Amino acid sequence: MGKPSENTYAEGIYVGYRYYSTFKVKPAYEFGYELSYTTFAYGKLHLSAPTLAGKITASIQVTNSGEVAGEEVAQLYVHAPTGALAKPEIKLKAFAKTGLLAPGQSQTLTFALTAADLASYNTATESWVADAGTYTVRVGASSLAIKQAATFRYPRPRRWRRAASCWPPRGPSRK
């Protein structure tokens, strides 16, 4: 059989780690899973403000708690409040890698979030929407190895009109 010219994905928003975390399915290897010869400890997660107004930063200290030097990739996930749109339990919004840390050495990693990072696409209005409410920031080594969490408020809903209708496809694709 020939190669298909189109592939329509029907999973919607629940692809990969988003499916597993939303429907509480434990995968063999979670998203972001990594092996290391050392271990890392995460300090307290600090947010720059209790309310997002423009931008909010999250910072966390990562310490090599093992016996050999190593690097760590910290992942930042956001859990959104319940709104009109269906949303996965968590969405990966940022990640950062430490430098090579000797045993006992620490590094502070900083992440930035804006209202656009909170948005979900509404196909009915063809716009991006960020709901008002309380958001939870979760930081860890993988989608299941969450080490710290903190919350902030987003005070008012916001909508951006960014894209013309492109889904569902309207007829065969052209070569």
Per residue of the chain (175 residues), give pLDDT as tens.
Answer: 556 677 777 778 877 787 878 888 888 888 888 889 999 999 999 999 999 999 999 999 999 999 999 999 999 999 999 988 999 999 999 999 999 999 999 999 999 999 999 999 998 888 999 999 999 999 999 999 999 999 999 999 999 876 665 556 555 555 4
Q: Determine which helix (DSSP H) or strand (DSSP E) holds 66, and give its type and residue range.
A: none
Which architecture does CATH list for 17-160?
Sandwich (2.60)
**pTM, rounded to two decimals:** 0.83
Q: Determine which helix (DSSP H) or strand (DSSP E) holds 134, and give its type and residue range.
A: strand 133-140
Domain residue ranges in the chain = 17-160
Distance CA 51, CA 152 (A): 5
Distances (CA, A) of 123 to 36, 155, 165: 41, 23, 8
Tokens at residue 17, please? 């780690």
Pair 121, 130: CB distance under 8 Å = no
Distance CA 142, CA 121 (A): 25
